[in-house]
């Protein structure tokens, strides 16, 4: 009898031992943060989640009544790993909540971690943001990486109060992901692998089919961006394509970019696409309502049309970020000071004699007036175009103090119908100083507008940064695609006479905004 009992217990004990082994093998490693969001107005927060646990997080406010993002890492990660996204998103006007899921980083432990529990924690983070007085509750979105990306899609499929969802490097289906893991470990699918998949579903309390991103995407009501690296060796890019193909009626876009599974710096180079998507989804710019069917005004962009379910790949048009809100905030934050100082750009000033070959000048994206005011001091009839009303107010104050006349216009040079007919061919000089706020897809239109404003025989003068500026980080955009090279400018002005094209480095001292060693490029081109 004892032998029979022992014989019956042995299989049970073997199964229990196997279950414990599976549990331990699949447990996420805990890696606490060692850094912090330096240079940003961060604060440590604790957020209550389910089962009486709490989550560690960093909250980075962005002034009053700001849109916000709850951002979650992937399996075995932590909030610190997502920080390369912090500064660019914050500059774009977004309040940010980076947090650790349960069993990760500095958050509370629990019996296990899983994609559904990531989603629960993400939901708790969203609720916490929506309760903040400085956050617009209707403009809260979610962003997740890997398992966190699956959690973002799962949460978005369950809630109707999210403004946007961003999926970074998500796998299409947990079963396929686990089968890849089993194969990497050299474990056969039958019978062991099949049992592992069954056991995990039983423990987490969810069928893989019900939580798989390729299934949940079709139930998501808010706009979705699916971003993935071409070189991802952990989750193949075909998973992103499968999720996008399974979207059904969901308003989902696909962004394919260079890089692997965990290359957050590479993603940071493509934040123009991400921020453009968020601005559209959250109705922060005219045209968002038409594009996504959500809040927003009439169309404010040539691309605001029936582009739902658009695949965004490298080279395809991407909406520019909400420039008005971004720059207004920067100029407001400068207070009474001038963000880029009050002296003219050096490349422009050194061509004072050349500028006398003309009577009229236009300074585009003029900012606080340092260049337009100086042009007026050279005896030119000057018009200045700037998108931020705060900047225009400060520019008028500068012009009054320097006792010159400038015709200041608050306008978006990329808006449909601009420039007005009376400005076509009206200027001997069109000046653009550090106007690298759009990527290549909108840079073409930007240059075409400037060409349209220039009279025959007139000139365009450009000053910008080259890609090497990313090494110096003393000003300019963080996206490499926004930066100029000689080849880019030669191609853009191939039908004009290029009188000067120079690439160089020097120390720049233009207020707090541009200060230090810089990689620069300058162009003077004459219209036929």
pLDDT in tens, 479-493: 788 899 999 999 999
Query: Do 332 and 290 share a structural domain?
Result: no
Q: Is the pLDDT of residue 302 over 50?
A: no
In a domain, 425, yes or no: yes
Largest CA-CA distance found in the chain, in angstroms, rounded: 110
Helix or strand holding residue 6 (H, E): helix 2-26
Q: Which pLDDT score, from 0 to 100, does residue 442 have?
A: 83
Strands 135-145, 165-168: pairing is parallel
Query: Do 155 and 117 share a structural domain?
Result: yes
Strands 66-72, 135-145: pairing is parallel
Query: Do 138 and 230 share a structural domain?
Result: yes
* Rounded alpha-carbon distances, angstroms, from residue 297 to 282, 308, 527: 12, 17, 37
Other beta carbons within 10 angstroms of residue 516's beta carbon come to: 11
In a domain, 493, yes or no: yes
pLDDT in tens, 32-68: 999 999 899 999 999 999 999 999 999 999 988 899 9
Q: pTM here?
A: 0.56
Helix or strand holding residue 437 (H, E): none
Q: Which pLDDT score, from 0 to 100, does residue 456 have?
A: 96
* Domain residue limits at 486: 324-526
Residue 357 tokens read as 């070959």
What average pLDDT does this structure show over 261-285?
A: 74
In a domain, 268, yes or no: yes
Q: Which pLDDT score, from 0 to 100, does residue 393 have?
A: 93
Task: Return the exposure string of 372-407: e unless at least 16 CB atoms fall within 10 Å of the residue's CB, then b.
Answer: bbbbbebebbbbbbbbbebbbbbbbebbeeeebebe
- The reply to whether omega before 269 is within 30° of 0 (cis) is no
359: domain CATH number is 3.40.50.150
Sheet containing strand 95-99, edge to edge, reads 43-48, 54-60, 95-99, 66-72, 135-145, 165-168, 224-229, 252-257, 311-313
Query: Do 328 and 317 share a structural domain?
Result: no
What average pLDDT does this structure show over 460-489?
A: 90
How far apart (Å, rounded) are the C-alpha atoms in residues 101 and 78? 8
Q: What is the 3-state secondary structure (H, E, C) of 274-317?
A: HHHHHHHHCCCCCCHHHHHCCCCCCCCCCCCCCCCCCEEECCCC
In a domain, 500, yes or no: yes
**Which of 167-176, 323-332, 490-499 is least confident?**
323-332
Query: Do 328 and 253 share a structural domain?
Result: no
Query: Do 333 and 264 share a structural domain?
Result: no
311: domain CATH number is 3.40.50.1820
Task: Return the exposure string of 119-135: e unless at least 16 CB atoms fall within 10 Å of the residue's CB, then b.
Answer: bbbbbbbbbbbbebeeb
pLDDT tier, 88 (very low <50, low <70, confident <90, very high otherwise): confident
Q: Is the pLDDT of residue 275 over 60?
A: yes
Between these two residues, 257 and 372, which has the higher pLDDT value?
372
Query: Do 404 and 294 share a structural domain?
Result: no
């Amino acid at each position: 009898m004892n032998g029979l009992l022992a014989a019956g217990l042995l299989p049970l004990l073997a199964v229990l031992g196997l279950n414990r082994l599976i549990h331990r093998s699949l447990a996420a490693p805990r890696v606490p943060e060692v850094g912090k969001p330096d240079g940003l107005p961060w604060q440590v927060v604790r957020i209550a989640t389910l089962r009486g646990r709490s989550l560690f997080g960093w909250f980075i406010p962005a002034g009053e009544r700001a849109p916000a993002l709850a951002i979650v890492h992937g399996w075995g990660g932590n909030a610190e790993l997502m920080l390369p996204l912090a500064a660019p998103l914050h500059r774009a006007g977004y309040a940010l909540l980076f947090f650790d899921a349960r069993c990760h980083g500095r958050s509370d432990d629990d019996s296990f971690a899983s994609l559904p529990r990531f989603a629960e924690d993400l939901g708790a983070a969203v609720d916490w943001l929506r309760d903040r007085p400085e956050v617009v509750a209707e403009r809260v979105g979610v962003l997740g990486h890997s398992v966190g990306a699956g959690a973002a899609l799962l949460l978005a499929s369950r809630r109707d109060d999210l403004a946007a969802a961003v999926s970074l490097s998500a796998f299409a289906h947990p079963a396929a992901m686990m089968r890849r893991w089993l194969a990497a470990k050299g474990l056969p699918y039958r019978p062991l692998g099949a049992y592992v998949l069954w056991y995990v579903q039983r423990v987490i309390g969810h069928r893989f089919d019900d939580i798989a991103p390729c299934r949940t995407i079709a139930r998501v009501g808010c706009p979705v961006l699916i971003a993935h690296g071409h070189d991802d060796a952990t989750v193949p890019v075909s998973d992103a394509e499968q999720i996008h193909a399974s979207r059904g009626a969901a308003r989902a876009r696909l962004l394919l970019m260079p890089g692997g599974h965990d290359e957050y710096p590479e993603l940071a180079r493509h934040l123009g696409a991400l921020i453009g998507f968020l601005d559209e989804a959250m109705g922060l710019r005219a045209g968002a309502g038409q594009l996504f069917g959500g809040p927003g005004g009439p169309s404010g962009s040539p691309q605001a049309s029936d582009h739902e379910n658009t695949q965004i790949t490298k080279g395809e048009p991407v909406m520019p970020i909400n420039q008005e809100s971004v720059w207004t905030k920067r100029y407001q934050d400068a207070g009474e000071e001038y963000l880029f100082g009050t002296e003219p750009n050096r490349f422009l000033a050194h061509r004072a004699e050349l500028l006398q070959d003309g009577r009229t000048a236009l300074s585009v994206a003029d900012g606080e007036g340092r260049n337009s005011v100086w042009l007026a001091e050279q005896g030119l009839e000057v018009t200045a175009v700037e998108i931020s009303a705060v900047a225009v107010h400060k520019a008028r104050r500068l012009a009054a103090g320097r006792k010159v006349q400038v015709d200041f216009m608050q306008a978006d040079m990329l808006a449909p119908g601009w420039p007005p007919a009376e400005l076509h061919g009206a200027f001997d000089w069109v000046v653009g100083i550090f106007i690298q706020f759009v990527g290549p897809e909108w840079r073409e239109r930007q240059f075409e507008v400037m060409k349209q404003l220039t009279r025959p025989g007139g000139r365009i003068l450009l000053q910008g940064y080259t890609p090497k500026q990313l090494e110096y980080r003393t000003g300019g955009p963080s996206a490499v695609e926004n930066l100029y090279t000689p080849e880019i400018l030669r191609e853009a002005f191939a039908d004009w006479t290029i009188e000067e094209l120079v690439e160089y480095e020097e120390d720049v001292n233009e207020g707090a905004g541009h200060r230090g060693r810089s990689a620069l490029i300058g162009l003077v081109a004459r219209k036929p």
